[in-house]
Amino acid sequence: MKFVDAHIHLSDPEYTQKHNDIMDDAKKSNVVALVSNSVDLKTSLLSLQLSKDYPHIVYPAVGIHPWNVKYLKPDEVQETTRLVLRQRKQDSKVVAVGEIGLDYQYAKTKELQGLQHEVFHEMLRAAEKSSFPVVIHSRGTTPEIIKLLDSYQLKKVLLHWFAQPLTLLPQIADRGYYISEGPPTVFSSRIREVVRRVPLTNLLTETDGPVHYWGLPFKGKMTTPSFIPQIVTTIAELKGRDENEVADQILQNFTNLFEISLV
């Protein structure tokens, strides 16, 4: 079986000087591709560099995370959008604009919420112009984001770590959007219910590393791609499907979304 990690933050400082170990970990676990999501201009540039350092396994997504809008440097949004458009022209290995989105837990004031919207719209416009898929953070804002996406002609959409509301799942599937779930699939009743309900053809696996998890068997461990096989095993159990079939379908979903040819 081949596995994929559709959402990991390899450019996070916690992984500094650990990239070789993570690549070894991925290979030993048959994780054949990792999408390195970014949170600002600096991590976007590092994700690009990592894709060059580890070709054919690391694929960069570039963008500005909603938690970073309060820390923006002058012209950072413009520089990041220019980076997106320049990468498309250069036919680079960038596969998506991400991680972008809305999350008002990071924006308690109207001013910060407005800035989140401004940055999110800039990122969506860049994705639309460049025809890149988008990787979206939507904690507490999924209904708002689903409506907002109607204003854009986006190639493809991934809702990362989707948790609620369950009532939106049919609409998400009908639109051809994907969702990705990670280690909480194994121990969280809420995420397990999402996995039961979402069509397998719309599902991807992720770790969201270096996020740490409280549930067994991941508690106290550094988050690495080796978590993915257990997630796939659990998905197969929840759906009553053969594990090989589940792994193959998730691999197909990954290649369809990111337009990556994995051999």
DSSP state of 227: G
Q: What are phi and psi of 175, to 5 degrees?
A: -80, -10
Return the amino acid letter for 110: K
pLDDT of residue 155: 86
User: For residues 65 and 99, is the Cβ–Cβ distance under 8 A?
Assistant: yes
Residue tagged 């609620």 (tokens) = 164
> Measured between alpha carbons, how far is 220 from 213 in angstroms, rounded to an integer?
7
**Helices 110-130, 76-89: crossing angle, 10 deg rounding:** 10
pLDDT of residue 263: 63
pLDDT of residue 62: 96
> Measured between alpha carbons, how far is 93 from 1 in angstroms, rounded to an integer?
24
User: For residues 84 and 122, is the Cβ–Cβ distance under 8 A?
Assistant: no
Close Cβ partners of 256 (under 8 Å, ≥ 6 residues apart)? 156
First to last CA, the chain: 12
> Measured between alpha carbons, how far is 81 from 89 in angstroms, rounded to an integer?
13
User: For residues 160 and 177, is the Cβ–Cβ distance under 8 A?
Assistant: no
Q: Which residues pair with 97 in a beta bridge?
A: 62, 134
Low-confidence ranges of the chain (pLDDT < 70): 88-92, 263
Q: How far from chain centre, in Å, is Cα 54?
A: 19
pTM: 0.96
Q: Which residues pair with 58 in a beta bridge?
A: 34
pLDDT of residue 90: 62
Neighbours of 28 (CB within 10 A): 11
pLDDT of residue 176: 96
**For 203-238, what is each residue's pLDDT tens digit?**
999 999 999 999 999 999 999 999 999 999 999 999
Strands of 58-62's sheet in order across:
3-8, 31-36, 58-62, 96-101, 134-137, 157-160, 178-181, 203-205
Domains in the chain with CATH codes: 3-258 (3.20.20.140)
> Measured between alpha carbons, how far is 35 from 51 in angstroms, rounded to an integer?
9
**For 103-123, what is each residue's pLDDT tens digit?**
998 888 999 999 999 999 999
User: For residues 50 and 20, is the Cβ–Cβ distance under 8 A?
Assistant: no
